[in-house]
Amino acid sequence: MQFAVIGHPIAHSLSPMLHETWLKAAGLFGCYTMVDVEADQLDTFVQQVRARQFDGINVTIPHKSTIIPFLDRLEPAAVRAGAVNTVYWDGDELVGANTDGTGFARALATRTHAKNSLVIGAGGAARGIIPMLPGHVTVTNRTNQTAERVAVEFGQSAVPWSRTLDLTPYDVIINTTSVGMAPAIDQTPIELTATTALICDIIYRPTPTRLLREATANGLDTLDGVLMFVLQAAEAFERFTGHPPDLALGEQVIRKQLEEF
Ligand code: ATR
Q: Which portions of the chain are predicted below pLDDT 50?
A: none
Active site residues: 64
Return the percent helix, strand and coil in the chain, to nearest 5: 40, 20, 40
107 plus 91 within the same structural domain: no
* Local structure of residue 131 (DSSP, 8 states): G
**CATH number reported for the structural domain that contains residue 10 in this entry:** 3.40.50.10860
State the distance from the centre of ligand 1 to the C-alpha of 182, rounded, in angstroms.
15
The per-residue pLDDT for range 39-72, each reduced to its tens digit, is: 999 999 999 999 999 999 999 989 999 999 999 9
240 plus 219 within the same structural domain: no
For residues 12 and 10, give the distance between their C-alpha atoms in angstroms, rounded to a whole number: 7
**CATH number reported for the structural domain that contains residue 208 in this entry:** 3.40.50.720
What residues are paired with 95 via a beta bridge? 73, 88
Give me the helices (H) in the chain, please. Answer: 15-25, 42-48, 76-81, 99-109, 124-129, 144-153, 210-217, 225-241, 247-259
Q: What angle do CA 240, 242, 244 make, to 5 degrees?
A: 100
pTM of the model: 0.90
121 plus 49 within the same structural domain: no
Question: Which residue among 142, 176, 185 has the greatest number of ligand 1 atoms within 8 angstroms of its CB, and so is best to mutate?
Answer: 142
Give the burial class of 92: count Cβ atoms within 10 A of its Cβ; 0-12 exposed, 13-18 middle, 19 or more buried: exposed
The per-residue pLDDT for range 69-95, each reduced to its tens digit, is: 999 999 999 998 899 999 999 999 999
201 plus 122 within the same structural domain: yes
Domain that holds residue 80: 2-98+227-259
Among candidate residues 254, 237, 199, the one with its CA nearest the CA of residue 103: 237
Question: Which residue among 175, 177, 185 has the greatest number of ligand 1 atoms within 8 angstroms of its CB, and so is best to mutate?
Answer: 177
213 plus 112 within the same structural domain: yes
Give the pLDDT confidence score for residue 260 in this predicted structure: 81
Mean pLDDT of the chain: 95
